[in-house]
């Protein structure tokens, strides 16, 4: 990841740390754009199969290509999780530095759940608040995609960590079994056919979160 460290980097350690969280959004936008291009190619292939292949062959091919699109969505969520994890690690460091100066920051309690909630809009499903933020939903779907093959067939048998992930993704419509859960996640976040929206969601969260910390640090004379 690229940070904006350069000749103008300030001596204030808190200002410096906030600057490192100012991640180059374009790097992630480029990745999401590539995934969108690949998704479009998959959809073109599916449309062609429907009109040019015999029914039996078409169904097999379409099922395969649908799994490819599901994987592309899953990979997009994992890339987004990398972004989220980076921001969280920098925020935790910010708290630790403030504590060393006898300042207890209140913007969040520095837990992962709190950091993913502050500054992020709530995720909505069927016109109702899911009880989780959009960032929490992104993170949970990324975990689900990475580990779903390890899950038992019945979600009632999930372990504690898996259960927490399942609880979040179920809140926006995910279900057990072979399915289109990554598409459900994308729909819940209103990504449509444009994964750039996922990048904007991440960026808006980061900007709001950092703005709140910047204000609190200034109030405490740390900036």
For 157-205, what is each residue's pLDDT tens digit? 999 999 999 999 999 999 998 678 999 999 999 998 888 899 999 999 9
pTM: 0.87
Is residue 213 very low, low, confident or very high in pLDDT (cuts 50, 70, 90)? Answer: very high
Predicted pLDDT of residue 196: 87
Predicted pLDDT of residue 154: 93
Q: In whole angstroms, give the CA distance from residue 88 to residue 69.
A: 29
Is residue 11 very low, low, confident or very high in pLDDT (cuts 50, 70, 90)? Answer: low
Predicted pLDDT of residue 5: 45
Percent of the chain with pLDDT over 70: 91
Looking at residues 50-59, what average pLDDT do you find? 80
Token pair listed for 12? 């204030």
Place of tokens 């029914």: 55
Predicted pLDDT of residue 103: 95
Looking at residues 59-68, what average pLDDT do you find? 84
Instruction: Identify whether the C-beta of residue 27 lies closer than 8 Å to the C-beta of residue 1.
Output: yes
| pLDDT > 70? residue 3 | no
Predicted pLDDT of residue 164: 96
Looking at residues 1-6, what average pLDDT do you find? 47
Looking at residues 133-141, what average pLDDT do you find? 97
Q: With helix as H, strand as E and coil as C, how does 13-74 read?
A: HHHHHHHHCCCCHHHHHHHHHHHHHHHHHHHHHHHHHHHHCCHHHHHHHHHHHHHHHHHHHH
Considering the chain, what is the average pLDDT of its residues? 87
Instruction: Identify whether the C-beta of residue 184 lies closer than 8 Å to the C-beta of residue 154.
Output: no
pLDDT (tens digit per residue) in 70-123 = 999 999 999 999 999 999 999 999 999 999 999 999 999 999 999 999 999 999
């Amino acid at each position: 990841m690229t940070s904006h460290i350069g000749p103008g980097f300030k001596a204030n350690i808190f200002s410096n740390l906030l600057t490192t969280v100012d991640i180059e959004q374009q790097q992630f936008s480029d990745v999401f754009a590539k995934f969108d291009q690949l998704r479009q190619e998959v959809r073109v292939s599916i449309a062609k199969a429907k009109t040019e292949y015999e029914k039996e062959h078409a169904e097999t091919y379409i099922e395969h290509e649908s799994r490819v699109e599901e994987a592309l969505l899953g990979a997009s969520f994992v890339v987004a999780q990398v972004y989220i994890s980076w921001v969280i690690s920098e925020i935790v460091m910010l708290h630790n530095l403030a504590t060393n100066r006898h300042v207890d920051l209140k913007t969040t309690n520095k837990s992962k759940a709190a950091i993913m909630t502050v500054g992020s809009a709530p995720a909505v499903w069927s016109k109702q608040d899911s009880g989780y933020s959009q960032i929490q939903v992104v993170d949970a779907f990324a975990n689900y995609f990475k580990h779903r093959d390890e899950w038992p067939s019945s979600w009632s048998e999930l372990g504690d960590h898996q259960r927490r992930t399942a609880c979040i993704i179920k809140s926006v419509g995910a279900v057990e079994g072979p399915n289109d859960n990554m598409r459900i996640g994308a729909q819940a976040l209103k990504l449509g056919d444009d994964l750039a929206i996922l990048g904007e969601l991440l960026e808006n969260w980061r900007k709001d979160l950092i703005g709140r910390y910047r204000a609190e640090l200034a109030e405490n004379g740390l900036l």
